[in-house]
């Protein structure tokens, strides 16, 4: 029809868009520093529509490796820091997102998680005959266990401290976590991921924003 425009879907009630286009996803709300995706944190299953288009005009769901996406979901049932787990297109594999922003009527922003991380903090040592200046894994204090997060290479690399001829440069990463993290994260905290051969990271910088935690971390020497 002449002169007629189609409003972006986010101008329609998010719950309506989700009901029409969305697929069922499990909603988890962190209750402790322990594993987030656990039965005790499961609130419900609800319809969710996720797209990579900030204007909400996408006709296909978010389906690529990007950290930020946008969700249509009932805002009366969700909160910042909630995790949403499930397939976002028919027949797709399960994916995990956390809600990072709900500044309605702007799109609800979610972060695509590609790793599950466990955090610990090195403990101080008392000087003595067995004093060792490096970190000892057995004495680390647990901080967070099995928290889904977004981890992306920053394209920056750094030489190891010893700098032996055969050493490879160590990569840097950016880590995104939700604002619902219940502990204060600090530089020098240690991170382990969930890969078959786990990568160990050392946090260099931490930034707590309204959208959650943004960490800069360096892969540690194996």
Q: For position 191, what pLDDT does the model report?
A: 97
Q: For position 37, what pLDDT does the model report?
A: 97
Q: For position 170, what pLDDT does the model report?
A: 81
Q: Cis before residue 101, ω within 30 degrees of 0?
A: no
Residue 3: pLDDT above 50? no
Mean pLDDT of 94-114: 92
DSSP state of 47: E
Instruction: Give the bridge partners for 118, in sequence order.
Output: 192
Q: What is the mean pLDDT of the chain?
A: 83
Q: What is the pLDDT of residues 123-177, one digit of tens each?
A: 754 444 443 344 556 678 999 999 999 999 986 545 444 444 445 568 899 999 9
Q: For position 131, what pLDDT does the model report?
A: 36
Lowest-confidence pick of 25-34, 76-85, 130-139 = 130-139
Q: For position 140, what pLDDT does the model report?
A: 87
Could you give the CA distance from residue 184 to residue 194 in angstroms, rounded to a whole number?
A: 22
CA atoms within 13 A on the CB side of 119: 23
What domains lie within the chain, and their CATH numbers? 9-113 (no CATH), 116-219 (2.40.10)
Q: What's the pTM?
A: 0.83
Query: Which token pair is 115?
Result: 């790793």
Could you give the CA distance from residue 78 to residue 81 in angstroms, rounded to a whole number?
A: 9
CA atoms within 13 A on the CB side of 35: 8
């Amino acid at each position: 029809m002449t002169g007629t425009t189609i409003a972006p879907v986010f101008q329609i009630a998010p719950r309506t868009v989700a009901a029409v286009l969305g697929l069922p996803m499990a909603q988890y709300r962190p209750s402790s520093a322990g594993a987030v995706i656990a039965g005790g944190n499961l609130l419900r299953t609800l319809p969710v529509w996720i797209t990579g288009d900030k204007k909400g005009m996408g006709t296909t769901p978010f389906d690529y490796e990007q950290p930020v996406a946008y969700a249509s979901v009932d805002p009366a049932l969700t909160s910042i820091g909630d995790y949403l787990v499930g397939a976002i297109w028919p027949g797709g594999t399960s994916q995990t997102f956390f809600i990072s922003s709900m500044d309605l009527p702007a799109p609800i922003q979610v972060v695509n998680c590609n790793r599950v991380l466990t955090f610990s903090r090195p403990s101080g040592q008392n000087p003595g005959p067995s004093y060792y200046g490096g970190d000892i894994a057995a004495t680390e204090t647990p901080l967070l266990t099995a928290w889904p997060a977004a981890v992306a290479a920053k394209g920056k690399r750094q030489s190891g401290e010893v700098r032996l001829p055969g050493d490879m440069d160590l990569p840097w990463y950016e880590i995104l976590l939700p604002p619902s993290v219940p502990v204060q994260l600090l530089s020098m905290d240690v991170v382990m991921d969930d890969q078959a051969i786990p990568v160990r990271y050392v946090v260099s910088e931490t930034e707590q924003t309204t959208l959650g935690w943004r960490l800069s971390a360096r892969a540690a020497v194996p």
